Structure 1
Amino acid sequence: MCVLGLSGCITAPDSAPPAWFTEANNADDRGYPSLNDVPTRRQANTDAAYWVRHQRELVAVGAAVKANPRSVWTPVEDPAVFMAEARATLEATRTSHE
């Protein structure tokens, strides 16, 4: 009997819905945006001088990277030596923080 009484109270609208609920329901009435509002013109920069300037900048940066001695790959003669040096460096770093 108590359950029936509660269900009656829950389903009975005794006041107006809150404003946020009404606003959310009214948003459905606005519909979808029109595809006619989508711009069809492109705003791409097609100036050839602009792209030539950027190409020169990129080539210059690439040359600077290639000129850096750290960019040259040098093979490790013995991987075990490399691993030993790496472990020693890690251990030295670890002990410096203690």
Structure 2
Amino acid sequence: MGKFSKLRKNRKYNYSPRYYDDKGEGSPYKIQPKLDKFRSTIDTPRGLKGKFSNAMSDIRKTGDRNLTIRMIVITAVLILIFLYIIDFDLSIFFIK
């Protein structure tokens, strides 16, 4: 019974790549997307206060002005299309 119940230990395999030159960049096997260093949401405190402060700091950052104008125009056009589809009467906003 003792022979079957005892598990053997895993063997260690030490592999070092032949042409890998570690210049202080870490492991060659670590998967890290190229844009991780520019993201503000990576390695942040995970509490509610930390998430809220990260969201507020992202709001305060000014973005591309053309992007915001384009987003406002697209939103306005979609709202007008939706109002046309549901046959909404816009005359209630104008004084007769």
- Give TM-score scaled by structure 1 length: 0.27
More helix by share: 1
Q: Which has the larger radius of gyration?
A: 1
Q: Which has the higher contact order (CA 8 A, sep 6+)?
A: 2
- Give TM-score scaled by structure 2 length: 0.28
